[in-house]
């Protein structure tokens, strides 16, 4: 068994989604997620993309992500907006509450630990 995973997104069937209606603030954002890895211990990795819109987010998990393209604004409740563009990285820790606004279609790769 190999100890690395090589992947081609075009060979992965993406999942489609959207924010829950009770979390939507504005727009009509649509998500596309390519789940690449699900490992023991609740570890997930993949690529996520969203079209423009704004919604409330609440994290029970830990997530590291790297913005590959686009422009988004993440704002913690009571905090200062964080403007994210290609090349930016961020960690959201369990308990994070706030909003995610996609200004320009955004694509990120991510690692999540439940």
Contact present, 64 and 93 (Cβ < 8 Å): no
Largest Cα–Cα distance in the chain? Answer: 48
C-alpha span between 19 and 26 (Å, rounded): 11
pLDDT string in tens for the chain (114-residue length): 688 889 899 999 999 999 999 999 999 999 999 999 999 999 999 999 999 999 999 999 999 999 999 999 999 999 999 999 999 999 999 999 999 999 999 999 999 999
Does residue 3 lie in a domain region? no
Which of helix, strand or coil describes residue 95?
coil
Number of domains present in the structure of the chain: 1
CATH of the domain at 92: 2.60.120.10
- What's the CA gap between 18 and 33, in Å, rounded? 11
**Contact present, 46 and 17 (Cβ < 8 Å):** no
How many degrees, rounded to 5, is the angle at CA 59 between CA 51 and CA 109?
50
Predicted TM-score (pTM) of the model is 0.94
In a domain, 24, yes or no: yes
Provide the residue range defining the domain that includes 68: 14-113
Cβ burial of 26 (10 Å; 0-12, 13-18, 19+) is exposed
Three-state DSSP state, 86: coil
């Amino acid at each position: 068994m190999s100890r690395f995973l090589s992947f081609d997104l075009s060979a992965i069937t993406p999942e489609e989604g959207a924010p829950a209606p009770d979390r939507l603030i504005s727009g009509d954002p649509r998500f596309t997620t390519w789940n690449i890895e699900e490992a023991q211990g609740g570890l997930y990795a993949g690529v996520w993309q969203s079209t423009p819109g704004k919604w409330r987010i609440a994290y029970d998990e830990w997530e590291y992500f790297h913005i590959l393209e686009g422009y988004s604004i993440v704002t913690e409740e009571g905090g200062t907006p964080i403007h994210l563009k290609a090349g930016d990285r961020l960690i959201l820790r369990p308990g994070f509450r706030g909003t995610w606004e996609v200004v320009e279609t955004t694509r990120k790769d991510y690692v999540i630990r439940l």
